[in-house]
Structure 1
């Protein structure tokens, strides 16, 4: 499952489940978030995500759209339909950048939509915001 800790000695900013069938992209996202201080677990597709979500208990899920077995659209819908997972924040990270794709993501309850190629700083900023890391000092 590849669960990583945040920076040594730092309190975790939250738990993220990174879901992408492309190993390079999956690891790129995971490493960027780990370096920022998030605990990270990974999944290779939507079915793997749904199998791991209860064990990982993520604050945020990053989700690719185009994956084998179970794509990101169906995965997001299933996450929203399940009372145990409907409140987990979901970030779509995908090459599908057309307006109707973004609209579809928001219609099914996706919290943020980032297009590939993505800026790692935008990804970190979005995940921090959704995980509530920016409000921890209250």
Structure 2
């Protein structure tokens, strides 16, 4: 059975209580319909959108990525003060970062052991832990 264009993107946005605007649909299709976990920056997603014929500004890409993150569709990974990736894999896992190429790669959570977590201050609880192992080329 053939699915209507954007059917998966529309369903995913509606499940997250996001209105399926033209820009959100175009970006959701690029992010989620390729069948694998993706790590993108706003700039790389903007370039993909331009190449696909979607007319969206870089500011719209940034805003949409943050809306998707707030809705639980993406995970934000800040690797440096000026470098943030958005991950379509929102489950527990960690990352390798190749410092030369900037490529971010998943590490399954069961491959990393953390001994002893600090007590969260003021009655708060730790929601998530981000670990990025930086790879250096020889």
Specify the TM-score bucket, using the shorter chain as the normaliser: under 0.3
Of structures 1 and 2, the one scoring higher in RCO (CA 8 A, sep 6+) is: 1
- Higher fraction of helix: 1
Bigger CA radius of gyration: 2
TM-score normalised to structure 1 length: 0.26
TM-score normalised to structure 2 length: 0.26
